[in-house]
Amino acid sequence: MTYYSTQAAPVPKGVNISIWAAQVLGAAMFILPGLMKATMPIPELAAMMPFAGEYSAAFVRFVGLVDIAGGLGLLLPSLTRIMPRLTVIAAAGCVLLQVLAIGFHAMRGEFDALPVNLVYIALSLFVLWGRGSKAPIAPRS
* pLDDT of amino acid 10: 83
* pLDDT of amino acid 6: 46
CA 45 – CA 43 distance, rounded (Å): 5
Exposed / middle / buried, residue 7 (Cβ in 10 Å: 0-12, 13-18, 19+): exposed
Q: Give the predicted TM-score (pTM) of the model.
A: 0.90
Domain assignment of residue 139, yes or no:
no
Domain assignment of residue 1, yes or no:
no
CA 91 – CA 74 distance, rounded (Å): 6
Cβ–Cβ < 8 Å for 43, 72: no
Cβ–Cβ < 8 Å for 26, 74: yes
Cβ–Cβ < 8 Å for 79, 137: no
Domain assignment of residue 6, yes or no:
no
What's the structural domain count of the chain? 1
Domain assignment of residue 3, yes or no:
no
Domain span including residue 18? 13-134
* pLDDT of amino acid 8: 62
**pLDDT at residue 52 greater than cutoff 80:** yes
Cβ–Cβ < 8 Å for 74, 30: yes
Domain assignment of residue 7, yes or no:
no
CA 17 – CA 123 distance, rounded (Å): 14
Domain assignment of residue 8, yes or no:
no
